[in-house]
């Protein structure tokens, strides 16, 4: 599965305002790195970040594990509100 789609599906399963979710991939200076930007509603931030960042760290772990199986690149996920 594509890392962008995987991240989007996980985020969509957590948020209430699904229409405001946007996941984009940006080019990185390092060819062994993938940068993903997740834009969500400000009201959904606590759902995605979680207490002490546990939810977003779990998402990062799942996406990183998928990347290791596919193309072995480092994945960085940034979350921001719209």
pLDDT 10s digits, 36-46: 999 999 999 99
Split at pLDDT 50, 70, 90, the class of 1 is: low
CA distance 74 to 3: 11
Q: 47 by DSSP, 3-state: which? A: helix
pTM: 0.89
pLDDT at 27: 85
Set out the domains of the chain in order of their start, with CATH numbers: 3-81 (3.30.300.20)
pLDDT 10s digits, 14-66: 999 999 999 999 988 888 899 999 999 999 999 999 999 999 999 999 999 99
Q: 54 by DSSP, 3-state: which? A: helix
pLDDT at 50: 93
């Amino acid at each position: 599965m594509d890392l962008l789609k995987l991240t989007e599906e996980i985020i969509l399963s957590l948020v209430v305002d699904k229409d405001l979710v946007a996941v984009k991939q940006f080019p990185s200076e390092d060819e062994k790195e993938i940068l993903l930007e997740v834009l969500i509603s400000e009201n959904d931030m606590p759902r995605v970040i979680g207490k002490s960042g546990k939810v977003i760290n779990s998402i990062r772990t799942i996406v990183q594990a998928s990347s290791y199986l596919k193309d072995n690149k480092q994945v960085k996920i940034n979350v921001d509100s719209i």
